[in-house]
């Protein structure tokens, strides 16, 4: 049996003391210094562990435990003010069950249905209380520990949207308005850039930026920064009729001229609550400010009073927190990758961390100027953000954790892969490029991988590992491809001996084997005893097949700038052979539908380069069919003059064959939905284009409707289309 003190195991006691210290320290850094050193997720983890320990061992829950306190005592140079009524925190819910448990408890305590509920957004800002006496702004104070806060009145007066005098009828003689001060997301990045440029520490996130800004000693600085406020409650309310519900409170506050959000909804029950939560889970980034969850409040003020509060939070409200999108991790290094067009991009290499459901260890830093703007140093702890499907981003360094060992990133002057001196393509460019397009192994690798893509030659066996193997074998081996020219001449004998480093597809940087600390090396085209692998056989077989692809795919595979699939299709449709494209004058090219003079010039220039022409000649010699059949007899042009958008996956058509079916009937295919779109053809898993069609009232066709369109024309299709909002 382990040792115990007053019935509590020593281990639990120790952990409790340890967590209390961590939590108190984090709060001080967060609330008082506005410079947190751990992520909110980390903090919430500690706090929840504390709550659980105290639940298991109630004697640990003493009045001075962090679980019984709000925020942190106000500290620093500001005058202290007593709040007229205590400002509280909120209890947290992290899943449906937590919300249901909260509702059940409220029901029990209220001895009846506590509904309806007001659902609103949990603004990730800082809490503030404004006192209005006889309708005049008397003071503004931070929450502090809930009883005593910092007097920040001069600063509050500079915030846009906060009235200095309340308007309207029946204004209370004394009212305490609570709300959240925040910085709009868009302004946050700009503010940090300014701070870094001035040699100051950037803020970790918009919340800290707002807190740091509100607690500026010089209100002139506060005035220059984009602070905003939204109100979400009241404390003392005297000398006017009292509202009966939370929503009436908001109506009144709005009448007084105070900033109230429109993004709330009163719902009858748990289902309504959950719907609201799910809606904003999907639309978390729609508001101009950051939200970290949803707050649910019992709407009736009388029921709120019945339910009352615990030592730190009301029982009549709960905060549902969405999974964190920000974590802290270590920036181990900044490496540069070289892309298909020679663009050189610095990448953050980080200690792997789990964020928003996936492990992240690299993030693009875009270019050297952005590294400087963000103010990150190699060795920094950094705030890493991954919002939904958006690519991960480094937000800011945690400067409070620097120990002097950090070093600045220096952008290389020469290509890390071929040693050529890097240059800007034209004046004013943000990106440096490796000008050695012909023989920079990185650029060949990327072009080759691109040429094999689904929208080009469609060679599945030529994935990233294969593209690397063909262009960058281990030291001592000669690359079998020095440009794309030899692609269709590859032989099994060439493939078998190749050994190469595995590279990260996103960054092009070598992957490190965690066991050895060395780059991972593979023999992709053979097994241990030198027998050709399936990979080799598959690649050669698919190369044979790829010789028959239509001309437009070959054009895409050549990596001519600005010639993506749509342009390539237009070119192939009009000129029908590579020779015709190669020999066309700039004017002739520009006469092709969808090709402007700039693109025409780029195409001309491309074909004037010797080694480019060599690729074309060699592919042709190897048997790549570089012409299309003569244009098919035009059928009836029943879709003439109409524009269509195709979205989602159709069963009987690929995206290209659907487009072909439309264009061969005289119709046009566009990439985005507008009021001019005749129909949107919608398959499985259609995304935002579908929503756009609905919002613009554009008729929608499913696959069956699409067939009606192709067979019988637009009138018949209109009969079977779904017309939104009718
Ligand atoms: N990273 C760190 O080191 C660190 C340290 C301390 C706290 N924190 C963060 O702060 C949180 C705890 O802070 P807290 O006690 O302020 O609690 P909280 O932020 O979880 O919730 C209470 C606060 O929510 C605010 N709020 C926002 N929108 C609201 C709305 N619509 N209605 C009502 N209130 C609304 C109010 O100001 C209220 O005081 C933690 O969960 C953690 O994420 C982080
Ligand atoms: Zn290079």
Closest CA relative to residue 85, chosen from 175, 203, 9: 175
ipTM of the complex: 0.97
pTM, full prediction: 0.79
Q: 89 CA distance to ligand 1 centroid (A)?
A: 7
- SS3 state at 9: strand
How many Cβ atoms sit within 10 Å of the Cβ of residue 80? 15
Q: Is 143 annotated as a binding residue?
A: yes
* Res 631: pLDDT: 67
Q: Rounded to whole angstroms, how far apart are CA atoms 253 and 260?
A: 7
Is the peptide bond between 506 and the residue preceding it cis, with omega within 30 degrees of 0?
no
Q: Which phi-psi region, left, alpha or beta, contains residue 408 (left: φ > 0; alpha: ψ -120 to 50)?
A: beta
What is d(CA 325, CA 285) in angstroms, rounded to the nearest whole number? 11
**Residue 660 in marked binding region:** no
Sign of CA dihedral 56, 58, 59, 61: positive
Half-sphere exposure of 720 (CA within 13 A, CB side): 16
Domains in the chain, please, with CATH?
4-68 (1.10.287.610), 80-321 (3.30.470.30), 325-436 (2.40.50.140), 441-546 (no CATH), 551-621 (1.10.150.20), 643-720 (3.40.50.10190)
- For the CA of 26, the closest atom of ligand 1 is 3
Q: Is 180 annotated as a binding residue?
A: yes
pLDDT surpasses 70 at 725: no
When pLDDT is averaged across residues 644-662 and rounded to a whole number, the result is: 90
**Centroid of ligand 2 to alpha carbon of 545 (angstroms):** 31
- Is 193 near ligand 1, meaning CB less than 6 Å away? no
Give Cα separations from 454 to 451, 537, 564, 672 (angstroms). 9, 19, 12, 21
CA-nearest residue, atom 26 of ligand 1: 122
Beta 358-364 vs 117-123: how paired, if at all? unpaired
Taking a C-beta distance cutoff of 8 angstroms, is the pair 37, 381 a contact? yes
pLDDT band at 4 (very low <50, low <70, confident <90, very high): confident
Ligand found nearest the CA of 37: 1
**Residue 441 CA, ligand 2 centroid: distance in Å:** 7
- pLDDT band for 32, please (50, 70, 90 cuts): confident
The yes-or-no verdict on residue 1 having pLDDT over 60 is no
Q: 244 near 138, Cβ under 8 Å?
A: no
How many A from CA of 413 to the centre of ligand 2? 11
> Which of the residues are catalytic?
122
* CA distance to 365, 368, 422, per residue, from 428 (Å): 19, 14, 15
Integer Cα distance of 556 and 565 in angstroms: 6
Q: 146 near 88, Cβ under 8 Å?
A: yes
Q: Quick one: average pLDDT of 313-333?
A: 96
Q: What are the C-alpha distances in Å from 330 to residues 378, 381, 394?
A: 9, 4, 11
Rounded-to-integer distance, Cα 23 and Cα 25, Å: 5
CB burial readout 272-309, b (16+ within 10 A) else e = bbbebbeebeeebeebebbbbbbbbbbbbbebbebbee
Per the annotation, does 118 bind a ligand?
no
Sheet holding 643-647, edge to edge: 668-669, 643-647, 679-682, 700-701
| Pocket of ligand 1 contains residue 36 by CB under 6 Å | yes
Residues in the chain: 726
Is the CB of 44 within 6 Å of ligand 1? yes
Relative to the CA of 261, which ligand 1 atom is closest? 31
Which of 421 and 657 is assigned the larger pLDDT?
Answer: 421
Question: Do 294 and 277 meet the contact criterion of CB atoms below 8 Å apart?
Answer: yes
- Is residue 361 classed as helix, strand or coil in its secondary structure? strand
Mean pLDDT of 450-476: 95
Q: Is the CB of 123 under 6 A from ligand 1?
A: yes
Nearest atom in ligand 1 to the alpha carbon of residue 37 is: 3
DSSP state letters, 120-134: EEEESSEEEEEEEET
Query: How far, in Å, CA of 481 to CA of 468, rounded?
Result: 10
Give yes or no for residue 150 CB within 6 A of ligand 1.
no
Residues in the 5 Å CB sphere of ion ligand 2: 415, 417-418, 420, 434, 436, 440
Is the CB of 327 within 6 Å of ligand 1? no
Q: Using CA atoms, how far apart are residues 616 and 215, in angstroms rounded to an integer?
A: 65
Å from CA of 43 to ligand 1 middle: 11
Give CA angle at 117 (114, 119), nearest 5°. Answer: 155
Q: Give the tens place of pLDDT for each residue, 654-684.
A: 888 899 899 889 899 988 899 999 999 999 8
Q: Is 156 helix (H, G, I), strand (E, B) or coil?
A: helix
Tokens matching residue 265? 């909804």
Q: Which ligand is nearest to the CA of 508?
A: 2
359, 504 contact by CB (below 8 A): no
Which atom belonging to ligand 1 lies closest to the Cα atom of 88?
39
Atom 38 of ligand 1: nearest residue by CA position: 89
Residue 535: both structure tokens together: 């990979």
Cα 364 to ligand 1 centroid, rounded to whole Å: 31
CB distance 83 to ligand 1 below 6 Å: no
Q: Look at ligand 1, atom 28, and give the residue with the nearest C-alpha.
A: 122
C-alpha dist (Å) from residue 60 to 112, 229, 298: 33, 38, 31
Confidence of residue 3 (pLDDT cuts 50, 70, 90): confident
Q: Is the CB of 119 under 6 A from ligand 1?
A: no
Picking from 113, 116, 206, 225, the residue whose alpha carbon sits closest to that of residue 160 is 225
The residue that leads in pLDDT, 238 or 506, is: 238
Between 632 and 323, residue with greater pLDDT: 323
Examine the pLDDT at 726 and tell me if it is beyond 50.
Answer: no
Give the sheet arrangement for strand 381-385, strand by strand. 358-364, 344-355, 326-338, 381-385, 393-397
**pLDDT tens, residue by residue, 102-160:** 999 999 999 999 989 999 999 999 999 999 999 999 999 999 999 999 999 999 999 99
pLDDT at 634 over 80: no
User: Cβ(182) to ligand 1 under 6 A?
Assistant: no
Nearest C-alpha to atom 31 of ligand 1 is from which residue? Answer: 122
| Torsion angle, alpha carbons of 295, 300, 301, 303, to 10 | -100
């Amino acid at each position: 049996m382990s040792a115990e003190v007053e019935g509590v195991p020593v281990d639990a006691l120790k952990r409790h003391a340890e967590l209390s210290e961590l939590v108190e320290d984090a709060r001080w850094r967060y609330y008082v210094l506005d410079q947190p050193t751990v992520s909110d997720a980390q903090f919430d983890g500690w706090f929840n562990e504390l709550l659980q320990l105290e639940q298991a061992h109630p004697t640990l829950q003493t009045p001075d435990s962090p679980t019984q306190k709000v925020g942190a005592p106000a500290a620093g140079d500001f005058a202290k003010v007593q709040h007229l009524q205590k400002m509280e925190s909120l209890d947290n819910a992290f899943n449906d069950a937590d919300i249901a448990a909260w509702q059940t408890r409220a029901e029990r305590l209220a001895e009846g249905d506590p509904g309806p509920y007001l659902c609103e957004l949990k603004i990730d800002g800082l809490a503030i209380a404004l006192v209005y006496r006889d309708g005049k702004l008397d003071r503004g104070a931070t929450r502090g520990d809930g009883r005593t806060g910092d007097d920040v009145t001069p600063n509050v007066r500079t915030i846009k949207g906060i009235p200095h005098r309340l308007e309207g009828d029946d204004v209370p003689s004394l009212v305490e308005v609570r709300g959240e001060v925040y910085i709009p997301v868009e302004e946050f990045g700009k503010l940090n850039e300014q701070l870094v440029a001035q040699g100051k520490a950037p803020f970790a996130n918009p919340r800290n930026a707002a807190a740091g800004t509100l607690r500026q000693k010089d209100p002139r600085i506060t005035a220059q920064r984009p602070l905003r406020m939204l109100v979400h409650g009241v404390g003392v309310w005297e000398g006017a009729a009292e509202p009966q519900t939370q929503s009436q409170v908001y109506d009144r506050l709005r009448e007084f001229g105070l900033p109230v959000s429109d993004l709330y909804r009163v719902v009858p029950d748990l289902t309504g609550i959950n719907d609201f939560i799910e809606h904003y889970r999907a639309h978390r980034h729609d508001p101009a400010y950051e939200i970290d969850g949803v707050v649910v409040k019992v709407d009736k003020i009388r029921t709120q009073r019945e339910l009352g509060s615990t030592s730190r939070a009301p029982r009549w409200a709960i905060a549902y927190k969405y999974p964190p999108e920000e974590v802290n991790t270590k920036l181990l290094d900044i490496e540069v990758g070289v892309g298909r067009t020679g663009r050189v991009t610095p990448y953050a290499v980080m200690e792997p961390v789990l964020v928003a459901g996936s492990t992240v260890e690299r993030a693009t830093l875009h270019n050297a100027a952005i590294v400087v703007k963000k103010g990150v140093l190699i060795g920094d702890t950094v705030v890493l953000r991954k919002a939904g499907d958006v690519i991960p981003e480094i937000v800011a360094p945690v400067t409070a954790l620097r120990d002097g060992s950090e070093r600045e990133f220096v952008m290389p002057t020469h290509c890390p892969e071929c040693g050529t001196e890097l240059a800007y393509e034209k004046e004013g460019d943000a990106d440096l490029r490796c000008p050695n397009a012909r023989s920079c192994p990185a650029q060949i690798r990327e072009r080759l991988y691109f040429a094999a893509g689904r929208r080009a030659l469609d060679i599945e066996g030529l994935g990233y590992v294969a593209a690397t193997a063909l262009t960058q074998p281990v030291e001592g081996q000669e690359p079998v491809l020095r440009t794309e020219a030899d692609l269709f001449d590859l032989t099994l004998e060439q493939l078998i001996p190749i050994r190469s480093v595995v590279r990260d597809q996103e960054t092009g940087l070598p992957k490190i084997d965690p066991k050895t600390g060395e780059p991972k090396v593979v023999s992709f085209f053979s097994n241990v005893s030198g027998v050709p692998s399936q990979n080799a056989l598959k690649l050669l077989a698919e190369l044979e097949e790829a010789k028959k692809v239509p001309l437009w795919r070959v054009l895409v595979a050549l990596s001519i700038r600005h010639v993506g699939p749509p342009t390539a299709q237009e070119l192939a449709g009009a000129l029908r052979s590579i020779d015709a494209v190669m020999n066309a004058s700039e004017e002739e090219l520009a006469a092709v539908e969808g090709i402007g003079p700039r693109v025409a010039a780029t195409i001309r220039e491309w074909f004037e380069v010797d080694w480019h022409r060599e690729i074309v000649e060699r592919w042709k010699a190897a048997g790549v069919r570089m012409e299309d059949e003569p244009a098919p007899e035009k059928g009836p042009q029943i879709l003439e003059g109409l524009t269509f958008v195709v979205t989602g996956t159709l069963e009987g058509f690929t995206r290209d064959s659907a487009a072909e079916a439309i264009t061969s009937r005289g119709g046009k295919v566009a990439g985005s939905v507008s009021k001019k779109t005749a129909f949107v053809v919608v398959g499985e898993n259609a995304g935002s284009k579908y929503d756009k069609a609905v919002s613009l009232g554009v008729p929608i066709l499913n696959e069956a409707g699409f067939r009606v369109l192709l067979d019988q024309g637009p009138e018949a299709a209109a009969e079977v289309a779904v017309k939104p909002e009718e």
